[in-house]
Amino acid sequence: MKVPKSLINTLNKEQILLLATHISPDGDALGSCLALAEALVVLGKKVYIFDKDPVPELYQFMPGHKKCRSTLGNLLKKNPLLILLDCNSPERAALEGYTFSKSVVIDHHETESPFGDIRWVERTAAATGLMVFHLINALNIRITKSMATNMYTAIAVDTGTFRYSNTSSDVLRASAELIDAGAQPGIISEHLYERWKKNRFDLLSLCLGTLEIRDNMAMIHVTKDMFNKTGTVEADTENFANVPRMIDSVVISALIRETDNGRWKVSMRSKGQANVAKIAAAYGGGGHRNAAGFRIKTDLPLLKKTLFAAGKKILPKR
Amino acid sequence: MKVPKSLINTLNKEQILLLATHISPDGDALGSCLALAEALVVLGKKVYIFDKDPVPELYQFMPGHKKCRSTLGNLLKKNPLLILLDCNSPERAALEGYTFSKSVVIDHHETESPFGDIRWVERTAAATGLMVFHLINALNIRITKSMATNMYTAIAVDTGTFRYSNTSSDVLRASAELIDAGAQPGIISEHLYERWKKNRFDLLSLCLGTLEIRDNMAMIHVTKDMFNKTGTVEADTENFANVPRMIDSVVISALIRETDNGRWKVSMRSKGQANVAKIAAAYGGGGHRNAAGFRIKTDLPLLKKTLFAAGKKILPKR
């Protein structure tokens, strides 16, 4: 992975930097911002981190996360260099409508926008955190334990702790260096996977009880009533859509959640070539081939029937 | 990690080799045997692999697994060098009562026996597969795709695909080399985690519905009736004991299975210092600090009451 010289030069030159990432930030978004911010402070820069949404409880173990701010205040008067991380348009970072005289994009997502004076987009990089690792090395900054923890978390989250097919040898070698710099895989994984609240676990248990499989498509749902019964909220269903994927016959899985009476949010996941983004697009939603979603006003039995029919159409022929 | 010279010399000298591993073989046991066997064949040796138990379905994606034999036949007449992998006593490999004129042990387990003419035991190694990786390198044998797949699987299984605290930088660097040699992390993980049968998933769902938490101890159970209802067997409960660990408050978890009317098998898991081997030992069972078990004849309510009381005693004071 080659870090653009123009990026190195710009970072060395600019003194006031605004790092921003996408709304609903995940571990890669946050870890990339926090690690790069710390490195830029080492270079003597004045650094700010912006995310419209608060840091989710899950990620509040990440060193320096309290430095994230959700308002810009009068920061723009200082004419900062905007650095978008893990996204590549101001809209994704809830920064539409603001004007920046200079901007940088550091991202690994497939969908690209033309935004940014300097654009470093590596679509094949497993995580933006991996790009930041190479950037910090290119800036000749020693990686501290907190930077290492943040970048390791970023990479771990976007590779499913090294379970997804984007786990390359470069990913593992970078992660090895991060361990040597102080990242603790056991502790990071405990934070990511073993800190569920009991009521979230109860919700999962109820939700799994709703499993229906037809052809190679699995469906689970959560109603308002189930949220109320367990004292949980929508955020607690994070990753539930992935769970039925563990069944060998399941190629497509869908998680359906009731948001308001008669309103539903659908998250779909798929294995291999089955393109769930096609179904999402048909209902005004979006996403990628293997992860997409949409919102709809309907009733549950009809929604399920429609989804099973739509899923059947995109299932690869056997 | 330093490979003993005596081991290299012995492997170079001997021509007929019997590789054996523990009963109920896991990914590390099988991956270590299969990779080393293939490497020794490259050296022109005659190699046999023995495991008393059949290769579990879960691991039947591992290249060369059909070479495992569950009987010795008249093999001992050939006077082979015995190489015990991932265990260090003939009993663990169901080889007690046989005599071997020469023997080697390659293992990473803490409990040691005095068996073996050459003993290479690295208690801090994350996996025996990692030791075999260093051994094959020391033998100057090029790692093939199938060797890489077997060693990667071995390491993945014993580190929880890099989630446990034994995930060192050495583990990740070795795994990076195995990817470069052809191991495919996404496909291996799919085999390990996404090939559940639907009825096993149904059993998990029923089992999670039995969750009880008191103090910091979680308990789940599976009755004969639940096995019958879902058409599953005891082997399908593999790893269920770990599931409640994902709840932040849970320090000890116990999975209780009905084996016969009135007979129960208990598997316990713990986080940190809580030593469940103490409870297991009190009931004639065994294991390690964070994973232990025992069998008992009693009734379920009484067993649960006893376990909650025993658990309370070993919970670290807060």
**Is residue A3 within 8 Å of A138, Cβ to Cβ?**
yes
Residue B110 has pLDDT above 80, yes or no: no
DSSP B90-120: GGGGT-TT---SSEEEEE--SS--S--SEEE
Per-residue model confidence (pLDDT) at position B92: 92
Residue A260 has pLDDT above 90, yes or no: no
ipTM entry: 0.90
Provide the pLDDT confidence category of residue A289 given band limits of 50, 70 and 90: confident
Give the Å distances, CA to CA, from B61 to A23, B31, B149, B169: 41, 11, 10, 27
CATH class of A5-193: alpha beta
DSSP B130-189: HHHHHHHHHTTPPPPHHHHHHHHHHHHHHTTTTTSTT--HHHHHHHHHHHHTT--HHHHH
What whole-number distance in Å separates Cα of residue A161 and Cα of residue A152? 9
Q: Do B185 and A175 touch (CB under 8 A)?
A: no
Q: Which residues does B contribute to its contact with A (CB < 8 Å)?
A: 160-170, 172-173, 175-177, 179-180, 184-187, 189-190, 193-198, 201-202, 204-205, 208-209, 211, 213, 244-249, 271
DSSP chain A: ----HHHHHHHHH--EEEEEE-SS--HHHHHHHHHHHHHHHHTT-EEEEE-SSPPPGGGTTSTTGGGEES--TTGGGG-PEEEEES--SGGGGT-TT---SSEEEEE--SS--S--SEEEE-TT-S-HHHHHHHHHHHTTPPPPHHHHHHHHHHHHHHTTTTTSTT--HHHHHHHHHHHHTT--HHHHHHHHHS-B-HHHHHHHHHHHTT-EEETTEEEEEE-HHHHHHHT--GGGGTTGGGGGGGBTT-SEEEEEEEEETTEEEEEEEE-TT--HHHHHHHTT-EE-SSEEEEEEES-HHHHHHHHHHHHHHHSPP-
Residue B112 has pLDDT above 80, yes or no: no
Per-residue model confidence (pLDDT) at position A33: 98
Residue A21 has pLDDT above 70, yes or no: yes
Q: Suggest the residue from A149, A201, A221 to mutate for an interface test with chain B (most B CBs closer than 10 A).
A: A201
Residue A112 has pLDDT above 80, yes or no: no
Query: How does the average pLDDT of chain A come out, rounded?
Result: 94
pLDDT per residue as tens digits for the range A130-169: 999 999 999 999 999 999 999 999 999 999 999 988 999 9
Q: Do A194 and B168 touch (CB under 8 A)?
A: no
Q: Token pair of A81, please?
A: 């260099």
- Nearest-CA distance B175 → chain A (Å): 7
CATH 3.90.1640.10 location in chain A: 5-193
Residue A255 has pLDDT above 80, yes or no: yes
- Considering only CA atoms, give the Rg of chain A: 21
Give the Å distances, CA to CA, from B287 to A195, B110, B279: 25, 11, 10
Q: Do B179 and A168 touch (CB under 8 A)?
A: yes
Q: Give me the residue from A167, A197, A244 closest to B186, CB to CB.
A: A167
Chain B: residue whose CA lies nearest to A180:
B169
Chain A: residue whose CA lies nearest to B242:
A194
Per-residue model confidence (pLDDT) at position A318: 62
In CATH terms, A198-314 corresponds, of 3.30.450.20, 1.10.10.60, 3.20.20.140, 3.10.310.30, to 3.10.310.30
Q: Suggest the residue from B60, B61, B192, B194 to mutate for an interface test with chain A (most A CBs closer than 10 A).
A: B194
Per-residue model confidence (pLDDT) at position A239: 86
CATH 3.10.310.30 location in chain A: 198-314
- Nearest-CA distance B7 → chain A (Å): 28
Q: Do B169 and A176 touch (CB under 8 A)?
A: yes
Q: To the nearest whole percent, how much of chain B has pLDDT over 90? A: 88
Q: Considering only B108-117, B145-154, B202-211, which range has the smallest mean pLDDT?
A: B108-117
Q: To the nearest whole percent, how much of chain A has pLDDT over 90? A: 87
Average pLDDT score over residue span A260-284? 91
What whole-number distance in Å separates Cα of residue B183 and Cα of residue B3? 23
What's the whole-model pTM score? 0.91
Provide the pLDDT confidence category of residue B318 given band limits of 50, 70 and 90: low
Residue A280 has pLDDT above 90, yes or no: yes
- B contacts of A213 (beta carbons < 8 Å): 198
- A·B CB contacts under 8 A: 124
Average pLDDT score over residue span A171-177? 98
Largest Cα span, chain B: 60
Give the Å distances, CA to CA, from B82 to B14, B25, B101, B151: 10, 17, 9, 20
Give the Å distances, CA to CA, from A32 to A29, A50, A86, A156, A162: 5, 12, 8, 12, 17
**Is residue A285 within 8 Å of A256, Cβ to Cβ?**
no
Per-residue model confidence (pLDDT) at position B8: 98
pLDDT per residue as tens digits for the range B58-95: 999 999 999 999 999 999 999 999 999 999 999 999 99
Q: Do B196 and A162 touch (CB under 8 A)?
A: no
Q: Which residues contact A304 (CB under 8 A, 6 or more apart)?
A: A212, A219, A221, A256
Q: Token pair of A311, please?
A: 């899923």
Average pLDDT score over residue span A78-97? 95
| DSSP three-state, residue B1 | coil
Higher pLDDT, B238 or A79: A79
Residue B258 has pLDDT above 70, yes or no: yes
Give the Å distances, CA to CA, from B95 to B22, B53, B57, B191: 9, 12, 23, 30
Query: Sign of dihedral through CA atoms B130, B131, B132, B134?
Result: positive
| DSSP three-state, residue B233 | coil
| DSSP three-state, residue B297 | strand
